[in-house]
Amino acid sequence: MATGPMDIQGAILAIILGTLAGIVYSLRVLILVERRIARIDINLETITKRILEQELRIEAEETKLEKEEGDIEHKLVRKPKKAKKAKKR
């Protein structure tokens, strides 16, 4: 009978140690996932900055082209000529 309670205690100890090992492993996985998410976040920030820079360049170019277009249109507008007086015959 001396071995009976020891077996139960051994089983309980094994369950507790297994649970602790599972918790430690889960924490390790969570840390790895968090690091991946952090890297993804950094990459997204980098991509967002590049897109913003390109958008600003595009907007500046659009503004420049619109100004040039306005200047060309202004030059093309013909001033109305003064009507010639009809000669009476």
| pLDDT tens-digit readout, 3-14 | 566 799 999 999
Decide: helix, strand or coil at residue 77. coil
**Angstrom distances, CA of residue 5 to CA of 17, 23, 32:** 18, 27, 41
Instruction: Look at residue 6 in the predicted model and tell me its pLDDT.
Output: 74
CA distance 7 to 13: 10
pTM of the model: 0.56
Element (H, E) at 1: none
| pLDDT tens-digit readout, 76-88 | 886 666 666 666 6
Decide: helix, strand or coil at residue 82. coil
Instruction: Look at residue 1 in the predicted model and tell me its pLDDT.
Output: 43
| pLDDT tens-digit readout, 17-76 | 999 999 999 999 999 999 999 999 999 999 999 999 999 999 999 999 999 998 888 888
